[in-house]
Chain A
Amino acid sequence: MLPATEEKEQQTNPSDIPDDWFKPKQKDTSEAESVVRPSLSYWEDAWHRLRKNKMAMGGLVFLILLGFMAIFGPMLSPHTVGETTLSNQNKPPSSDHWFGTDKLGRDVFTRTWFGARISLFVGIMAALIDFFIGVAYGGIAGYKGGRTDSVMMRIIEILYGLPYLLVVILLLVVMGPSLATIIVALTVTGWVGMARIVRGQVLQLKNYEFVLASQSFGAKTKRIIQKNLLPNTMGPIIVQMTLTVPTAIFAEAFLSFLGLGIQSPYASWGVMANDSLGVILSGHWWRLFFPAFFISATMFAFNVLGDGLQDALDPKLRR
């Protein structure tokens, strides 16, 4: 929209340009304010990515259903966990006993969901206790650094060298088999993995400026660890917790299978599998099938969920 071109050549001096040549451009506020992509927090973004992972979501749905059945399953059945009916031994699944009965005439359906309670309880408790000890230990070791760190790491190295299932078995022999003993025994050495992960993360994070800023405001160590360092470590911590659960469930089943776990009349999947070792020859497949299926499916679900979370919570994979 310039005036005639021949005029332009003569008027080379910028100060000669008349003001009315300039027109203020209309500022388009509507365009500037519109956001192309929704702004997502770390957790929203992780959730979006997790939702796209079909395997992980399948695992999550399975675990929610399992948790629901662990709570309400035993109530749905008219039979109780320890109820023995000797006239009803080794009956295949029927309308009365949905999963059949075992060698003492106990209802496998009720026992399976009771086993789910035990397994989930052991798994979640182990993960929670690991979380509290591991995070505190790893956080302090990583943040303090120096001598404190090397002493704390030597202790971890020694604990890490202890064969974990042997220690658990030893403790169970001494303390007697019970649910509490299993959980204590599992966490005695179990928190070491968590502590290592947290320490490694904290070691990296503590050199960032926001920690320095916090320090210059006079924040105490406890506050810095709690408010600055740990929230940034939550991704790896959650993944580690999700992967601790199947390990603990396996350990409980393994110990129960060896006769060191939950005692009769209560049921855990390991106990049920151990009880039904003889069914291979007798053909009472349902006694082994249901506990075996649910141990495997639960561990599978936790493993795929853990894998999915690992991808979803990894900030490097964020797009």
Chain B
Amino acid sequence: MVKYITKRLVLMILTIFIIASLTFFLMHAIPGSPFNEERGTNETVQANLEEHYHLDEPLLVQYFIYMKSVVTFDFGPSIKQPTETVNDLLGRGFPISAELGIISIVVAVISGIILGVFAALRHNGIIDYMAMAFAVLGISIPNFVLATLLIQKFAVDWDVLPAATWSSPMHMILPTIALATGPMAIIARLTRSSMIETLTQDYIKTAHAKGLKPWKIVIKHALKNALMPVVTIMGTLLAGVLTGTFVIEKIFAIPGMGKYFVESINQRDYPVIMGTTVFYSAFLIGMLFLVDIAYGLLDPRIKLHKEGGE
């Protein structure tokens, strides 16, 4: 176990290092300096600006300065809004994005599992077909389409829920639905298929023969094993929710990290792009790591100390 964790930890740091380097060299592959287009800067001002942002140093020196900023997590001020540092933006945006993301993933997991279990218990019945039709629809409708649809119906036509911002629980309902539907549909389908398989296993028959109550068998015996595939894809789902927050925050005017990220891309604000990319990647890779560890702890059949060959 310890060996496995160490191995994964090394791989994780390597991945973050690659992402950070990739970001740096990609950003510096763009011709010109970020200040070229700025009006009213004469050559002295530009030189000073470049010196301030270390843009006059050789690339390798810049790379080391940058790597230092990655390790200490200090990306300095934004170029377009010089009064704010990248850390300020992240500090302000991240809690909101995290809230949106966590609520959405919790809603998606709980409703997805419930939907999947009911579909499996009524295998080939009406509930099954309806749940699965709903799930395929949920996978097929892009979140930004769903979001606009929800605003149109709930906020404009019926005027029952607020359409934008993130200030009260009422404001959170529409963005959460828009973001959670896709992952929910994926979880529901996975839960259903693995539940159907689990329910045919011998130990479930034994449990029935012992005279246990059906709901107890489902919850205590079947669900525990049926949920293993769901745990496996949690990492991918987290990534989806994370990137989903970009568009959802844009549509609902939520002042989260995604909004700053999209803005920084559109404004070519390099320190902010680099900072947010590295932060997002590190966060995501860390989550993937935790999911893997959780999977290893949950499934006794996986021997973590063994080299994973097959």
The residues of A with any CB-CB pair to B shorter than 8 Å are: 154, 157-158, 161-167, 169-171, 173-174, 203, 246, 250, 253-254, 257-260, 273, 277, 280-281, 285, 288, 292, 295-297, 299-300, 303-304, 307
Contact = CB atoms under 8 A, between A and B. Distances in A.
A170 B26 contact: yes
A201 to B, nearest CB: 12
B281 A166 contact: yes
Given A161-B15, A299-B140, A292 B284 contact: no
Nearest to B29: A174
B288 interface: yes
Contacts of B280: 163, 166
Contacts, number: 105
A163 B239 contact: yes
Contact of B310 (A203, A254, A281): A203
Given A174-B27, A281-B156, A163 B265 contact: no
Given A260-B265, A280-B151, A303 B11 contact: no
B156 A280 contact: yes
A260 B280 CA distance: 19
Contacts of A296: 137, 140-142, 145
Contacts of B247: 254, 257-258
B139 interface: yes
Contact of B14 (A158, A257, A292): A158
Contact of A164 (B15, B23, B239, B250): B239
Interface in B9-50: 11-12, 14-15, 18-19, 22-23, 26-27, 29-30
A304 B136 contact: yes
A170 B19 CA distance: 10
Given A174-B30, A257-B247, A258-B246, A169 B265 contact: yes
Contacts of A277: 148, 251
Contacts of A281: 156
B265 A173 contact: yes
B273 interface: yes
26 contacts: A154-B11, A157-B11, A158-B11, A158-B14, A158-B18, A163-B242, A163-B285, A166-B277, A170-B273, A173-B30, A173-B265, A254-B144, A257-B144, A258-B246, A258-B247, A258-B250, A258-B265, A259-B266, A277-B251, A280-B151, A280-B152, A292-B145, A296-B137, A297-B140, A299-B141, A307-B136
Contacts of A295: 142, 145
Contacts of A157: 11
Interface string B230-268: 000000000100110011001100000000001001101
Helix, strand, loop or mixed for chain A's interface? helix
Nearest to B281: A163
Interface of B is mostly: helix
Contacts of B156: 280-281
Nearest to B155: A280
B285 A161 contact: yes
Interface in B104-153: 136-137, 139-142, 144-145, 148-149, 151-152
Contact of B19 (A162, A292, A300): A162
Given A161-B12, A161-B15, A161-B288, A246 B140 contact: yes
Given A158-B18, A299-B140, 14 more contacts: A154-B11, A158-B11, A162-B19, A163-B243, A166-B277, A169-B265, A170-B273, A254-B142, A259-B262, A277-B251, A296-B137, A299-B141, A299-B142, A300-B137
B22 A170 contact: yes
A294 to B, nearest CB: 10
A54 to B, nearest CB: 12
A139 B23 CA distance: 31
Give 9 nearest A-B pairs by CB, closest first: A300-B140, A299-B140, A165-B243, A161-B15, A292-B145, A296-B141, A174-B26, A163-B284, A280-B152
A292 B30 CA distance: 34
A257 B139 CA distance: 18
A173 B15 contact: no
Contacts of A254: 142, 144, 243, 247
A80 to B, nearest CB: 26
Nearest to A302: B140
A273 B145 contact: yes
Contacts of B22: 167, 170
Contact of A166 (B140, B144, B243, B262): B243
Contacts of B262: 258-259
A2 to B, nearest CB: 53
Contact of B268 (A164, A166, A173, A299): A173
B144 A273 contact: yes
B277 A170 contact: yes
B148 A280 contact: yes
Nearest to A169: B265
Nearest to A174: B26
Contacts of B250: 258
A166 to B, nearest CB: 6
Contacts of B288: 161
Contacts of B26: 170-171, 173-174
